[in-house]
């Protein structure tokens, strides 16, 4: 199984808008179409392709000082729990000196196992009572 990140130079907001309904099950996690249009025009958009089929997406945003922020990192349900996210994240790590993101408690273990560290919790980030976890990828010391 070959996992590749393919730059989406002209991302279709309708495509990404529809994809999120397959991935997210909580209404507060679903962006409206206007938000998608904004995110897709300001970020670097990559489709995660598995043997040529779309299996998810990654959207990165430049935040200055060499930091890229993971705005969206989604794997479609049919491709989850098969190592695809880990493979895609390894490719993402090669795109920036530093990575940061906010994630949910449900996906936090995945990122912690992948080298990220939890910096702080953000109260009510997603919805009342649903906190976000601000994470950063720690730079490894040269050996």
Q: What digits encode the pLDDT tens for the residues 35-61?
A: 888 889 999 999 999 998 999 999 999
Q: Is the pLDDT of residue 113 over 90?
A: yes
Residue 63: band (very low, low, confident or very high) from pLDDT cuts 50, 70, 90:
confident
CATH superfamily of 3-137: Gcn5-related N-acetyltransferase (GNAT) (3.40.630.30)
Check residue 64 and give its pLDDT.
Answer: 82
Check residue 1 and give its pLDDT.
Answer: 84
Which stretches of the chain are assigned E, i.e. beta strand?
3-7, 44-50, 53-62, 67-75, 98-103, 116-127, 130-137
Check residue 35 and give its pLDDT.
Answer: 87
Q: Strand, helix or coil at 15? A: helix
- The per-residue pLDDT of the chain, averaged, comes to 90
- 31 and 20 Cβ atoms separated by less than 8 Å: yes
Check residue 140 and give its pLDDT.
Answer: 53
């Amino acid at each position: 199984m070959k996992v590749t990140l393919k730059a989406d130079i002209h991302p279709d907001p309708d495509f990404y808008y529809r994809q999120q309904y397959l991935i997210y099950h909580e209404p507060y996690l679903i962006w409206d179409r206007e938000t998608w249009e904004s995110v897709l025009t300001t970020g670097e958009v990559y489709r995660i392709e598995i043997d040529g089929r779309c299996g998810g997406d990654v959207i990165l945003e430049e935040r200055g000082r060499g930091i890229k922020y993971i705005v969206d990192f989604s794997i479609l349900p049919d491709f989850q729990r098969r190592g695809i996210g880990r493979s895609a994240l390894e490719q993402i790590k090669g795109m920036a000196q530093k990575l940061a993101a906010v994630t949910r408690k449900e996906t936090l273990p995945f990122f912690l196992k992948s080298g990220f560290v939890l910096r702080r919790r953000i109260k009510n980030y997603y919805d009342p009572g649903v906190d976000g976890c601000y994470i950063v990828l720690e730079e490894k010391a040269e050996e």
